[in-house]
Amino acid sequence: MTLDKELVEALEKDYTTAPLSAQDRAMLDHVVKLTKDATKVSKDDIEGLRRAGFDDRAILQITLIASWFNYINRVADSLGVGRD
C-alpha cells in the first residue's frame, strides 16, 4: 500500500511505465499474465519470478492473492455488484 498519489496514478495509467523496481515489475507482469490466461503461465515464468528475488512462498502468495482477486471480481461482475 502506498500514499504516493503520483505512483497510484502512474499505476492506474499504465503499470509498465510506472516507476517500479524490477522486482515489482516482474510480479505485476506475472499477475497480468495469470489474469489474462493462467494456462499460459509456464515454468519459465516461475523461474523469472525466482530470478527477480521471489522464493517459492512469495510466488505462491502472489499467485493466490491475484487468483482470489480475479475470482472475487468475476463473482461481483456476474452478480452486478456495483452497477447502477
pLDDT reported for residue 1? 66
Cell 496514478 found at:
9
Q: Looking at the chain, how many residues does it have?
A: 84
As for how many domains the chain has, the answer is 1
Domain-located, residue 84: no
Tell me: the pLDDT tens digits for 48-84? 999 999 999 999 999 999 999 999 999 999 999 987 7
What is the distance between the alpha carbons of residues 41 and 47, in angstroms, rounded to a whole number? 11
Domain that holds residue 41: 22-79
What is the distance between the alpha carbons of residues 39 and 45, in angstroms, rounded to a whole number? 12
Domain-located, residue 5: no
Tell me: the pLDDT tens digits for 12-31? 999 999 999 999 999 999 99
pLDDT reported for residue 3? 80
Q: Is the pLDDT of residue 35 over 90?
A: yes
